[in-house]
Amino acid sequence: MSGYPVIRDPSLNRGRRFTSEQRNDNRLVGLVPSGRPRTLSEEITRLLTKLKPLPTLLRYEMLMAVLHRDEQLFFATAQANLPKVLPMIYTPAVGDACVNYSDLEIPMRGLWIGIDQKGNIRNILDHWGETAEVVVVSDCERILGLGDLGAQGMGIPVGKLLLYSACGGIHPNKCLPVVLDVGCDRDDIRTSENYIGLNQKRVRGPEYDQFVDEFMNAVVDKYGTTCLIQFEDFGTRNALPLLQKYRDQLCCFNDDIQGTASVGLAGVLSALRIDGVPSTLKEHKFLFLGAGSAGLGIAMLIVLALVREGIPEEDARKQCWFIDSRGLVYNGRANVTDAKRPFAHEVPENVKGVADKGLLEVVRALEPTALIGVSTIRGAFSEDVIREMAARNSRPLIFALSNPTSKAECTAEEAYTFTEGRAIYASGSPFAPVALPGRETKLVPGQGNNSYIFPGLGLGVTISGARHVPESMLLVAADTLSKLVDEEQLAVSCVYPDLNSLMDVSAHIAYAVCKEAKAQGLNEKPVDHLDVKTIRHMMYEPGRGEM
Ligand SMILES: O=C([O-])CC(=O)C(=O)O
Ligand SMILES: [Mg+2]
């Protein structure tokens, strides 16, 4: 391509960075102003300076505009500044963006497939017209911890796929974001005049199931059996059944269940290496606040990790306990759904007596070593609760994983302050390091977000051409992530690697996933020639060599 089409193609356009030579060779003279060509690093600095004073939504709008004009600038900026840029395009900003999506001034990106289009999905995929290797699909019933946002949830599939490129090195042209618009149960959203989605209540039951099924088949028909489909932010009632239905049939996984599980387990495995924390998994007791897809996913993977250590599954499950909206889940309680039943244990009378008395009483009765927040209830880990954990554990694990920041069960500062700095804290959305009086170094909260897992997992799955995503891939991803946490991180109580190293992390995870694909006989492509370095070099990194 040459001339004006180059300027209009975001993957080719370099704007004012085109060198004189490029301008001459590609008929671009006159299409860019005649002044001195800028360098990439100059433009990155300028962009970050511009973004800094802007409020969240304006930042988001500006970044989306850059993305649609100049992919090199967008991704090079992100890749060179991940800790700074991720919160602007991903959690927490993407939460705000979704809430306001209908009113944003942003280019449309992705496919909205309305339930009114049933029977026509395969044709709609042709409208996208590009190849796809990774599809992130949401019905937006549970966007982060913000609930049902209807078709406005598109920010999430878009954001996840931006991370596939920025952190996992998968080319943006191979990424397809999809919203299945089956309606919205929030009247205020769907009846608002400017709403981008269908003004109807959510379709449920057989019609919903058929619609999702039509979509899954259409993706396979168009993009093949090795196209990875990531389920994202479905409501719990659909998330688990959909995963169970398709996991052994197609190449798919659920990020909220399995990605979160893998990152959660990785954080726990890292914590085992910290002095004062019981050093084997089997010595721990996990209490989950919230029994949705994230909590159940983490518990199921912990059980798998325990079974791997030789613990009988029955006993392994007893190390995980759940509190849902009705209190502690136990055997014999009313309203225990099938999904929670494996974690409904026999309890003595004293525990039964406090089951509905709130988190503090349950912590006293059960004496967990780890508290995992997946409830989306800000403040649920109150000062009393945190102090109780600190009284019973020399280094309590306190993970407040709900997103975005406004939904975290407690802040980093609360966890550290109420435990005199002894808590091993992680959160789903970012918190800044915390200085405590009398301590020389700051404590660094780890971001226990599935963004440490899914980009590398997806990269490994696509490179190996894996036909399925077995649970063992999530297990090796967790092992790999945990091993990348160095002593320096652990010394400041951080159980995840530095965010700046996310592209390297993804390369390591991808390599582990490729090996696992081969071990399970699932790879359609050869993987024996691969190593971490080769994979790292294959990754999309549009600023490489230009900075
Ligand atoms: O998107 C995130 O930050 C993590 C996630 O999947 C969720 O909270 O649903
Ligand atoms: Mg999610």
Both 360 and 331 in a single domain? yes
Tell me the pTM.
0.97
Number of residues assigned to the chain? 547
Residues 179, 278 share a domain: no
Q: How many CB atoms lie within 10 A of CB 280?
A: 10
Ligand 1 atom, smallest distance to 90 CA: 3
Ligand 1 centroid to residue 311 C-alpha, Å: 31
| Residue 207, C-beta contacts closer than 8 angstroms, at least 6 positions apart | 115, 118
What is the per-residue pLDDT for 1? 87
Side chain identity at 280, as an amino acid letter?
T
Q: Which of 236, 256, 262, 377 to mutate to test the pocket of ligand 1 (most atoms within 8 A of CB)?
A: 256
- How high is the pLDDT of residue 130? 77
Q: Residue 371's beta-bridge partner residues?
A: 287, 398
Whether 533 is a known active-site residue: answer no
Could you tell me if 222 and 370 lie in one domain? no
Is residue 474, in this structure, part of any structural domain at all?
no
**Distance between CA atoms of 400 and 396, rounded to whole angstroms?**
13
Instruction: Look at residues 229, 250, 271 and tell me which one is the last residue of a structural domain.
Output: 250
**φ and ψ at residue 333, rounded to 5 degrees:** -70, 150
Residue 110 belongs to some domain of the structure: yes
Q: Which of 403, 451, 457 to mutate to test the pocket of ligand 1 (most atoms within 8 A of CB)?
A: 403
pLDDT of residue 547: 81
180-239: per-residue pLDDT in tens? 999 999 999 999 999 999 999 999 999 999 999 999 999 999 999 999 999 999 999 999
ipTM computed for the complex: 0.98
> Does residue 400 contact residue 418 with C-beta atoms inside 8 Å?
no
| Ligand 1 atom closest to the CA of 449, numbered from 1 | 4
Residues of the chain with pLDDT below 70 are: none
Which residue type sits at 110? G
Q: How far apart are CA 437 and CA 444, in angstroms?
A: 15
367 is in an annotated binding site: no
The CATH number that applies at residue 115 is 3.40.50.10380
* Ligand 1 pocket at CB < 6 A: 91, 144, 233, 255-256, 403, 428, 449-450
Question: Are the C-beta atoms of 415 and 397 separated by less than 8 Å?
Answer: no
In the set 90, 195, 208, 246, the catalytic residue is 90
CATH code at position 413: 3.40.50.720
User: 545 Cβ partners below 8 Å, 6+ apart?
Assistant: none
Looking at the fold, whether 361 and 423 belong to one and the same domain comes out as yes
The sign one gets for the Cα dihedral 137, 130, 77, 45 is negative
Residue 541 lies in a domain: no
Same domain for 321 and 447, yes or no, is: yes
236 with 269, same domain: the answer is no
The answer to whether residue 303 sits within a structural domain is: yes
Ligand nearest to the CA of 401: 1
Residues 351 and 388 reside in one and the same domain: yes
Query: What contacts 333, CB < 8 A, 6 or more positions away?
Result: 326, 327, 344, 355
Asked if the structure places residue 461 within a domain, the reply is no
For helices 260-271 and 293-308, give the axis angle rounded to 10 degrees: 50
Domain count, the chain: 2
Q: Separation of 383 CA from ligand 1 center, angstroms? A: 25
471 is in an annotated binding site: no
The two tokens of residue 356 are: 């509905």
Is 173 annotated among the ligand-binding residues?
no
Cβ neighbours of 437 (radius 10 Å)? 6
Q: Quick one: which of 202, 204, 224, 209 has its CA closest to 125?
A: 224
Q: Please give the DSSP secondary-structure letter assigned to residue 405.
A: G
191 occurs within a structural domain? yes
90 catalytically annotated: yes
Q: Are 25 and 18 in contact (CB under 8 A)?
A: no
Q: Best of 253, 450, 453, 454 to mutate for ligand 1, by most ligand atoms within 8 A of CB?
A: 450
- Is 156:450 a contact under the CB 8 Å cutoff? no
Q: Taking the alpha carbons of 94, 539, 468, 310 in that order, is the dihedral positive or negative?
A: negative
Would you give the DSSP letter of residue 523?
Answer: B
Q: Do 242 and 378 fall within a single domain? A: no
Of 227, 250, 273, the residue at which a domain comes to its end is: 250
CB 287 within 8 A of CB 505: no
Question: Are 382 and 276 in the same domain?
Answer: yes
Give me the residue label for tokens 């600190």. 390
Distance in Å, CA 181 to ligand 1 centroid: 19
Structural domain span for residue 329: 259-452+488-496
Q: What is the pLDDT of residue 210?
A: 98
What pLDDT does residue 315 have?
97
Answer with the one of 250, 280, 308 that is the final residue of a domain: 250
Q: Is 324 marked within a binding site?
A: no
Residues 245 and 265 in one domain: no
CA of 256 to the centre of ligand 1 (A): 7
Residue 198 lies in a domain: yes
Q: What distance in angstroms lies between residue 535's CA and the mean position of ligand 2's atoms?
A: 26
Shared-domain flag, residues 269 and 215: no
User: 213 with 302, same domain?
Assistant: no
Per DSSP, the residues of 337-371 read -TTTGGG-B---HHHHHHTTS-HHHHHHHH--SEE
Does any domain span residue 83? no
